[in-house]
Chain A
Amino acid sequence: MKKGQTEIIGLLVIVVLLIFIIILFVTLRTKPQEKAIGRESAYTASLLTAILKATPCERTDTIPARPVSIEEIIRRGIPRQSTCGNGEARQEYLAKELQIIKGRVNTNQKVNLQILIKNTQNPQDIILVGNSCLGEKTVERRIITGSSSGQQERFEMVLEYCTT
């Protein structure tokens, strides 16, 4: 009996050791991923700056013709004589260009991007490209003041970034 007991204890020790090793292995395998939040913030800030600076067209009422930036179009509207679109309204033109930009910049299926430009004084004057982010997201905002029709206007441009 004593010998039998000793053998059983010995077996138990081995089994316990094995279980311990397996637990260690499982613990090491399933270490959670850390979120790189700083990276997303830098990405959105850089993208917003790049969008506002981009000059997709030029005004032809000056000699020589001068490039017009997206920020300028938001501030002052499309110049009367320009290569900006085919006579569309500012809203329509910007929506089209922002859609193209979003498509070219965001080629990763796992990333969702939304660009929003809203006139804080006129809720109807809004441009929205992309789907809103549900859950955790990184947001970058810029305020742009201008006057396209003689009146002071205030726009807020918002860029939302999240991983799906």
Chain B
Amino acid sequence: MRYSEVRGKAKYSKKGQIGLIEMIMVIFIVTVLIVVGIVFYTGVLKQSIQKKGGEILSQKAEVELRAIQGMPEIECSKNVRREDCIDTLKLLIAKEVIDGEEKGYYATIFGRKRVLVKQVYPELQGQVENQECTQEKYNQEVYPNNCDTWIIYESRPATITEVNKISVPVSLYFPNAAEDRKNEYRIGELIIESYR
């Protein structure tokens, strides 16, 4: 074989190898870019869906806040007429009925949530902050100055990834059996904590 023929073959062989390597590198880079693009897009899509889910949860919670305020199970009712306040006596009962005997029924209405009412005015003296109002507390003569929280309903999932809390000020009505004119009103907050 002549030297120039060998050199030519080697030249072509090297060129071929370079060409092959080039092609492999291009395919590799393009593949990497496509994969990065897909991962990126999926990540952005996931973020967007999570954000949308959060917004929907927030929107739903606000609708529910107003709906719960107007539920006959807790809303004031005087001489059959509706009044724009929450009946604290019904709140005590809510614990027994909504969060108790009939929880299965109300679970389809409330879902995974914690719904509570907290008194904010007047400020209570002593170690009363976050004290739950129970039947026992109600029976004491100092009621309602011995507690400030009524839990209407509570249902937590096994694992909580997100909690969305919203609230609205409400008028709290304290009925007096002995004397209708002695009914007292205070200011509270209706709080909903939605779980995800």
Direct A–B touching in the complex (beta carbon < 8 Å)?
A: yes
SS class, residues of chain B in contact with chain A:
mixed
Interface string of A18-54 (1 = CB under 8 A from B): 1001001100100000001011001100110111011
Once bound together, how far apart are the Cα atoms of A67 and B179, in whole Å? 11
Using a Cβ–Cβ cut-off of 8 Å, how many residues does chain B contribute to the interface with A? 34
Using a Cβ–Cβ cut-off of 8 Å, how many residues does chain A contribute to the interface with B? 31
> Is A16 among interface residues, defined by CB-CB distance under 8 A?
no
Contact of B170 among A24, A50, A104 (CB under 8 A): A50
Known contacts A28-B48, A54-B186, A64-B182; A100/B121 CB under 8 A: yes
Known contacts A39-B62, A54-B121, A105-B120; A46/B185 CB under 8 A: no
Is there an interface contact between B187 and A25, defined as CB atoms closer than 8 Å? no
Contacts of A10 in B (CB 8 A): 26
Known contacts A28-B48, A36-B62, A46-B169; A55/B121 CB under 8 A: no
Is there an interface contact between B184 and A67, defined as CB atoms closer than 8 Å? yes
Is there an interface contact between B123 and A104, defined as CB atoms closer than 8 Å? yes
Is there an interface contact between A43 and B44, defined as CB atoms closer than 8 Å? no
Contacts of A47 in B (CB 8 A): 169
Once bound together, how far apart are the Cα atoms of A21 and B169, in whole Å? 46
Once bound together, how far apart are the Cα atoms of A45 and B182, in whole Å? 25
Is there an interface contact between A66 and B181, defined as CB atoms closer than 8 Å? yes
Is there an interface contact between B183 and A50, defined as CB atoms closer than 8 Å? no
Is there an interface contact between A53 and B171, defined as CB atoms closer than 8 Å? yes
Contact of B66 among A42, A56, A64 (CB under 8 A): A42
> Is B122 among interface residues, defined by CB-CB distance under 8 A?
yes
Known contacts A55-B184, A67-B184, A67-B185; A42/B121 CB under 8 A: no
Q: Which of B65, B85, B179, B185 is packed against the most chain A CB atoms within 10 Å?
A: B185
Once bound together, how far apart are the Cα atoms of A46 and B70, in whole Å? 12
Contacts of B179 in A (CB 8 A): 64
> Is A69 among interface residues, defined by CB-CB distance under 8 A?
yes
Is there an interface contact between A42 and B183, defined as CB atoms closer than 8 Å? no
Known contacts A101-B187, A104-B120, A105-B187; A17/B33 CB under 8 A: yes
Interface residues of A (CB under 8 A from B): 10, 14, 17-18, 21, 24-25, 28, 36, 38-39, 42-43, 46-47, 49-51, 53-56, 64-67, 69, 100-101, 104-105
Extra pairs beyond A25-B44, A56-B122, A100-B121 (11, CB < 8 Å): A10-B26, A17-B37, A49-B171, A53-B84, A53-B171, A54-B121, A54-B185, A54-B187, A100-B123, A101-B187, A105-B187
Interface residues of B (CB under 8 A from A): 26, 29-30, 33, 37, 40, 44, 47-48, 62, 65-66, 69, 84-85, 120-123, 168-172, 179, 181-189
Can you offer 13 A-B residue contacts whose CB atoms are under 8 A?
Answer: A21-B37, A38-B62, A42-B65, A42-B66, A46-B69, A46-B169, A50-B187, A50-B188, A64-B179, A65-B182, A66-B181, A100-B121, A101-B120
